[in-house]
Structure 1
Amino acid sequence: MKISQVGINKVINMYEKNNRNIEKTKKVAKKDSLEISQVGKSLSSFAAQDKKEISQEKLEKIRNEVAKGTYNVDAKLVAQKMIDIMKGREI
Structure 2
Amino acid sequence: MKINGPNHSNFNPYKKNIQNQLQATETTAKKDKIEISNEAKQMQEHQKAQEARQKHIEALKQKVDSGEYQVDAKQTAEKMINFWKHR
TM-score (norm 1): 0.48
Give the structure with higher Rg (CA): 2
TM-score (norm 2): 0.50
